[in-house]
Amino acid sequence: MPHARAARGLKFFFQAVTPDDARTALAAFAPVGTERVPVASAAGRVLAEPLVAPDDLPHFARANMDGYAVRAADTFGASASIPAYLRVAGTVAMGAAPRRTLAKGEAMRISTGGMLPAGADAVVMIEHTDEVGDGQVEVQRAVSPWQHVVRVGDDVRRAEPIFAAGRRLRAHDLGALTGVGITRVRVHRRPRVALVATGDEIVAPERRPRPGQVRNVNQYSLRAMIAEAGGAPRDLGLVPDRPERLRAVLSRALSGADCVMISGGSSVGAKDMTLDVIASFPDSATLFHGIQIAPGKPTILARAKGKPVLGLPGHPVSALVIFSRFGAPLVRLLGGEAPAAAFADARTTRATLSENVASEIGREDWIRVTLEERDGARLARPLRGKSAQIMSLVKADGMVRVPLTDEGVEAGVEVEVVLF
According to the per-residue pLDDT averaged within each range, which of 150-159, 197-206, 309-318 is highest? Answer: 150-159
Residue 113 banded pLDDT, cuts 50, 70, 90 = very high
Contact 164, 231 (CB under 8 A): no
For residues 364 and 361, give the distance between their C-alpha atoms in angstroms, rounded to a whole number.
Answer: 8
For residues 89 and 257, give the distance between their C-alpha atoms in angstroms, rounded to a whole number.
Answer: 66
- Domain containing 136 equals 62-150
**Same-domain pairing of 197 and 142:** no
Q: What is the pLDDT of residues 58-88, one digit of tens each?
A: 999 999 999 999 999 999 999 999 999 999 9
For residues 197 and 235, give the distance between their C-alpha atoms in angstroms, rounded to a whole number.
Answer: 9
> Where among 342, 360, 395 does a domain terminate?
342
**Minimum mean pLDDT range among 169-183, 325-339, 388-402:** 388-402
CB atoms within 10 A of CB 205: 10
> Where among 342, 357, 391 does a domain terminate?
342
Residue 11 banded pLDDT, cuts 50, 70, 90 = very low
Higher pLDDT among residues 59 and 133, named by residue: 59
For residues 207 and 191, give the distance between their C-alpha atoms in angstroms, rounded to a whole number.
Answer: 32
- pLDDT surpassing 90 at residue 5: no
**Same-domain pairing of 324 and 389:** no
For residues 13 and 11, give the distance between their C-alpha atoms in angstroms, rounded to a whole number.
Answer: 5
If you average pLDDT over residues 122-128, what whole number do you get?
98
**Full-model pTM:** 0.83
**Same-domain pairing of 315 and 241:** yes
**Same-domain pairing of 206 and 302:** yes
For residues 383 and 391, give the distance between their C-alpha atoms in angstroms, rounded to a whole number.
Answer: 10
Residue 3 banded pLDDT, cuts 50, 70, 90 = very low
Q: Average model confidence (pLDDT) for the chain?
A: 91
Residue 355 banded pLDDT, cuts 50, 70, 90 = very high
**Same-domain pairing of 178 and 315:** no
**Same-domain pairing of 324 and 358:** no
> Where among 293, 315, 342 does a domain terminate?
342
Higher pLDDT among residues 194 and 386, named by residue: 194
Higher pLDDT among residues 5 and 346, named by residue: 346
**Minimum mean pLDDT range among 50-54, 134-138, 364-368, 388-392:** 388-392
Long-range contacts of range 251-256, CB-CB < 8 Å, 24 or more positions apart?
251/281, 253/194, 253/196, 254/194, 254/281, 254/304, 254/305, 254/307, 254/309, 255/305, 256/192, 256/194
If you average pLDDT over residues 334-341, what whole number do you get?
96
**Same-domain pairing of 207 and 337:** yes
> What's the CATH code of the domain at 403?
2.40.340.10
**Same-domain pairing of 303 and 362:** no
Q: What is the pLDDT of residues 164-210, one digit of tens each?
A: 999 999 999 999 999 999 999 999 999 999 999 888 777 777 888 88
> What's the CATH code of the domain at 174?
3.90.105.10
If you average pLDDT over residues 25-41, what whole number do you get?
97
For residues 216 and 268, give the distance between their C-alpha atoms in angstroms, rounded to a whole number.
Answer: 21
For residues 345 and 329, give the distance between their C-alpha atoms in angstroms, rounded to a whole number.
Answer: 10
- pLDDT surpassing 90 at residue 102: yes
Cis before residue 295, ω within 30 degrees of 0?
Answer: yes
Contact 216, 204 (CB under 8 A): yes
Residue 270 banded pLDDT, cuts 50, 70, 90 = very low
- pLDDT surpassing 90 at residue 2: no
**Same-domain pairing of 286 and 175:** no
pLDDT at 290: 93
**Same-domain pairing of 134 and 16:** no
pLDDT at 276: 86
pLDDT at 202: 79
Look at the chain and report how many structural domains it folds into.
4
- pLDDT surpassing 80 at residue 214: no
* DSSP state at residue 115: B
**Same-domain pairing of 50 and 69:** no
**Same-domain pairing of 326 and 224:** yes
> What's the CATH code of the domain at 143?
2.170.190.11
